[in-house]
Structure 1
Amino acid sequence: MADRSRRVAAWTAGALVVLAAPVSCGTGGGPPVASDRPSASAVPTSADSPRSAVPSESAASPGPGTRTETGHTRRPAPRCRTAGLSAAVGRMDPGAGQRNLPIVLTNVSSRTCTLHGYPGAAFVDAAGEQLGRDPKRAPGDAATVTLAPGGSAWAGLRYASPGVSGARAATPAALLVTPPDERDALRVPWRAGAVPVSGTSSSVFLTVLRPGSGP
């Protein structure tokens, strides 16, 4: 009987130890409470976070004018305006009864601009009255010429020598040069002698603009 009492006491003591074990694992003396917050090791870092799958602003497709790793979109330079240009007449190149002179337009502004096509030109007397008809356009493929500050473009002015053609001639006081798509002209003093203004072979021709200051 005494042996049985000792076995019951030992079993009871063991059961109390087992029951007490979960209590010793708690932090507040009571049973542990499950938390819905992940531990620090379970929270994704910025590299693992789903946000890293969303393209950043720099990785998104570039819009117009946005600089990219391979370059950037450039907007075309504006058209050259009369106020930003100067005009001059180059040296005459006579040959076979023809007179050839370059009309030179130079960018005197501080920004890059473009010229395209033919300039306008007209001979005038001292009173500003036009002498002869407007020049005709010689056939040619027009191309856009980009002028950096200080850059030039030229067009050829050609006509038959009045002494050879027999056309009626006059000596202009100036040549008015109008840049393409502009209304205001640049006045250039004329020092190349008489030009044909009417009669046989009195036509004057202009070529398209091209880069440089002459042939």
Structure 2
Amino acid sequence: MRRHQALRATTAVLALAATAGLAACAPSPAPVSPSAPGAPRAGIAPGESAMHGSDQPSEDPGEGTGFGKCSAETLSMRVEYHGDEDVARSADLFIANVGTKACNLPGFPELAFYDANNQPISIPTSTIGESQSLLEIKPGERFSAPLGWSSSPESSPCVTPKTVGVTPPNTSEQKQIPWTGAVVCANGISISPYQRA
């Protein structure tokens, strides 16, 4: 009886050893070539797609209008005072594109005033009306922004600027030009949006 049990145990051990040997001898899976169709590329996690040159955006966000922001150096500016003798004064700020490319001139001009010593003068400004969100000014074209203010002594104190600094929309470049509008009183200057001159 004991001989039969020992024989069975020996047979079972031999069978397990044979199975383990066959598993060790089995060929390991061939490595997947990076160039194989459907295989993930190096450095790309499974499930991610590789970005090819044709998938890149054709232009930066915000472009596509055909023209960019206007800069002070490509714009010619001047103030044309209407010569009113009463207390209600007005003028036009003329801006011309003297560059070689069209540019974007939306919104309102930003104005800053200076005295004869080029020191800033505090004159409040306010905007009137609504501006177009996109306004193209081509080379050689001219636009104007109407200005209005009071020279009434009742609105004192009043000052006479020597120059006005004009900053085109969406830039921080200021250009100083002569101020020909005479006295400006404390109520400040109203600025209308750009329009074709």
TM range (shorter): 0.5 to 0.7
Tell me the equivalent position of 1:208. Answer: 193
* TM-score normalised over the length of structure 1: 0.57
1:110 aligns with 2:77: no
Q: 2-side partners of 1:208 and 1:167: how far apart? A: 27
Q: 1-side partners of 2:188 and 2:161: how far apart? A: 15
Q: Residues 177 and 186 of structure 1 are in contact (CA less than 8 Å); yes or no, is this contact kept in structure 2?
A: yes
Tell me the equivalent position of 2:163. Answer: 174
Q: 1:166 to 1:78 in 2, by over 3 A?
A: closer
1:187 aligns with 2:172: no
- The amino acid across from 1:204 in the alignment is I
Tell me the equivalent position of 2:21. Answer: none
Q: Residues 86 and 107 of structure 1 are in contact (CA less than 8 Å); yes or no, is this contact kept in structure 2?
A: yes
Tell me the equivalent position of 1:122. Answer: 112
**Structure 1: 5+ residue stretches without partners:** 1-63, 66-73
Tell me the equivalent position of 1:46. Answer: none
Paired residues in the alignment total 137
Q: Residues 106 and 131 of structure 2 are in contact (CA less than 8 Å); yes or no, is this contact kept in structure 1?
A: no
Tell me the equivalent position of 2:125. Answer: 135
Q: 2-side partners of 1:143 and 1:96: how far apart? A: 35
Shift of residue 204 of structure 1?
1.4
- Residue identity (%): 21
Where do residues 76-91 of structure 1 align in structure 2 (5 Å cutoff)?
Answer: 76-91=66-81
Tell me the equivalent position of 1:98. Answer: 88
Q: Residues 162 and 194 of structure 1 are in contact (CA less than 8 Å); yes or no, is this contact kept in structure 2?
A: no
**Structure 2: 5+ residue stretches without partners:** 1-57
Q: Residues 88 and 188 of structure 1 are in contact (CA less than 8 Å); yes or no, is this contact kept in structure 2?
A: yes
Tell me the equivalent position of 2:142. Answer: 152
Shift of residue 139 of structure 1?
2.8
Q: 1:183 to 1:195 in 2, by over 3 A?
A: same
Q: Which has the larger radius of gyration?
A: 1
1:2-33: CA deviation from partner (whole Å, max 9, x where unpaired) = xxxxxxxxxxxxxxxxxxxxxxxxxxxxxxxx
Q: 2-side partners of 1:173 and 1:76: how far apart? A: 37
Tell me the equivalent position of 2:30. Answer: none
Q: Residues 99 and 139 of structure 2 are in contact (CA less than 8 Å); yes or no, is this contact kept in structure 1?
A: yes
1:98-120: CA deviation from partner (whole Å, max 9, x where unpaired) = 11111111111011112000110
Tell me the equivalent position of 1:54. Answer: none
- Aligned alpha-carbon RMSD (Å): 2.4
Question: Which segment drifts farther, 141-150 or 106-115?
Answer: 141-150
Q: 1:77 to 1:131 in 2, by over 3 A?
A: same
Q: Residues 99 and 158 of structure 1 are in contact (CA less than 8 Å); yes or no, is this contact kept in structure 2?
A: yes
1:162 aligns with 2:147: no
SS at match of 1:127: coil
Q: 2-side partners of 1:182 and 1:131: how far apart? A: 21
Q: 1:148 to 1:191 in 2, by over 3 A?
A: same
